Amino acid sequence: MKWKLVRECGSWDRGRWQWKLIWRRPLLGRELIWEQALLHEISLVQLHEGVPDGWIWLPNTDGLFSVQSAYLFLQESDLPEADPVFISVWTSFAPSNVKGFAWRVLLDRIACRENLLKRRVIASISDASCVFCNSHLESSFHVLFSCPFSMQIWQGCFQWLGCSLFQSNTIREHFFQFRFGTNKLQQRLSHSIWLAAIWSLWLVRNDIFFRGGTAAIEVVLESIKRRSWQWNKANMRGFSYSSSDWFLNPHLCIVGS
Ligand SMILES: [Zn+2]
């Protein structure tokens, strides 16, 4: 792939660009996931047959950059960085790759099958069903939140936390259910659980998809508890609770921090 031009990495098929990525060797496990994510990202760019490549500055109608247009663009744009949900994800105790994944979940930019179908990375709707229930189109909201399997995981999380799970219609609402305690630090500890849950669900989804693995509720719940404790322990100074404290009563560890 190194030094290749775009025109060498695919071809036109009846007016539509089809990516054909060629690698030095066959891709393995995690690399296949990266390839899917890459295909998803690049498929968002619309190519036009016969049009030469060039740079366009979108905020200006003539396509040319000016400082004034950049200034106006920054003033007017609704940048996700300023949104409280993105700030909460960014300041959480999760590792940066997990924060990046959570951002893509919130922006509906993960390589779930519905998005791959929309971008024509997969061709048929029959290949786009959820790996957990096999009976629903795999959208990001479905696979991570509303699939019966994922719902059981979230119910398990709330049971572990000693609270009730409310029905959320958006990912943002779902995220903000994880705000236990009264101060920002306590809320950051709670956010780790939400991030560990979406990450653990996504990893098990990939394990089924790419390696024919199986989904077991207890195993996923265990990994959520373990990951959230590890992230909090590693990144919050003064977090003194042991893994058994956390496994036994996370709510107490959060409000006691
Ligand atoms: Zn499902």
Q: Which domain holds residue 34?
A: 6-43
- 253 is written with which tokens? 């560890």
- Counting beta carbons within 10 angstroms of the beta carbon of residue 137, is it exposed (0 to 12), middle (13 to 18) or buried (19 or more)? middle
Which residues have CB atoms below 5 A from the ion given as ligand 1?
130, 132-133, 136, 147
Q: How many CB atoms lie within 10 A of CB 247?
A: 15
Largest CA distance in the chain: 64
Q: How many CB atoms lie within 10 A of CB 190?
A: 22
Residues in the chain: 257
- Residue 151 inside a domain? The answer is yes
- Residue 209 inside a domain? The answer is yes
Do 32 and 146 fall into the same domain? no
Do 117 and 237 fall into the same domain? yes
How many domains does the structure of the chain reveal?
2
Cα(125) to centroid of ligand 1, in Å?
Answer: 14
Do 14 and 141 fall into the same domain? no
What are 116-149's pLDDT values in tens digits? 998 888 888 888 999 999 999 999 999 999 999 9
Please tell me the least confidently modeled range out of 17-31, 151-165, 223-237: 17-31
Do 110 and 217 fall into the same domain? yes
Do 36 and 150 fall into the same domain? no
pTM of the model: 0.76
pLDDT at 83: 78
Phi, psi of 17 (to 5 degrees): -75, 130
Cα(131) to centroid of ligand 1, in Å?
Answer: 6
